[in-house]
């Protein structure tokens, strides 16, 4: 069986309120435009998830909302600034066949890199800019069997690619 991971970094956030806790920072105007564009791309490419795992931060929640995707969602506090090991553990608990995980850098870039046999041929893959989205397939029966360096990159896109 093939399982699919859609790994997305949150859209561009607003740094305009210095006293606001990092967890509570919202998206800025560009982020509010990029998330719906990425949702449209996911629909056009047939990459709609059947499960979502999302950080509890305001900017990840707003990114998910902007995507316009209707799938069972679990908001996980552990995904807020998670390291790759934490992201791996969270994904191993997933039940969906196509799972969207929305998180933060630097963990998400390192997790994406560590899960793939070969990195996609994209100049921005390794820095994973805001709203960057990887679609990777794994030959697995269950996410519980997930191992590093076993995924195949099917797509990688950033908002600038959609303009």
Q: Which fold has domain 2-9+24-162?
A: Rossmann fold (3.40.50)
Bridge partners for 2 per DSSP:
139
Tell me how far apart the alpha carbons of residues 76 and 56 are, in angstroms, rounded to a whole number.
Answer: 6
- SS3 label, residue 131: coil
Residues of the chain with pLDDT under 50: none
Predicted local confidence at residue 18, as pLDDT? 84
pTM: 0.97
Please tell me the chain's helix, strand, coil percentages from 3-state DSSP, rounded to the nearest 5.
Answer: 35, 25, 40
DSSP state letter for 22: G
Q: What pLDDT does residue 16 have?
A: 87
Give pLDDT, residue 67.
Answer: 98
Output the average pLDDT for the chain. Answer: 97
How far is Cα 161 from Cα 16, in angstroms, rounded to an integer? 26
CB-count burial class (<10 Å; 0-12, 13-18, 19+) for 28 = middle
């Amino acid at each position: 069986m093939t399982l699919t991971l859609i790994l997305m970094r949150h859209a561009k956030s607003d740094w305009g309120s210095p006293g606001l806790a990092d967890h509570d920072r919202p998206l800025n105007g560009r982020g509010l435009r990029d998330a719906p564009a990425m949702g449209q791309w996911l629909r056009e490419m047939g990459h709609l998830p059947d499960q979502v795992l999302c950080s509890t931060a305001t900017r990840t929640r707003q990114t998910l909302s902007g995507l316009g995707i209707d799938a069972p969602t679990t908001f996980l506090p552990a995904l807020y600034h998670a390291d790759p090991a934490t992201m791996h553990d969270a994904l191993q608990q997933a039940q969906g066949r196509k799972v969207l995980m929305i998180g933060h850098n630097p963990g998400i870039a390192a997790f994406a890199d560590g899960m793939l046999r070969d990195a996609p041929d994209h100049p921005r893959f390794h820095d994973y800019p805001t709203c960057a989205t990887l679609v990777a397939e794994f030959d697995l029966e269950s996410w519980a069997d997930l191992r590093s360096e076993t995924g195949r990159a099917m797509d990688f896109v950033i908002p600038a690619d959609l303009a």
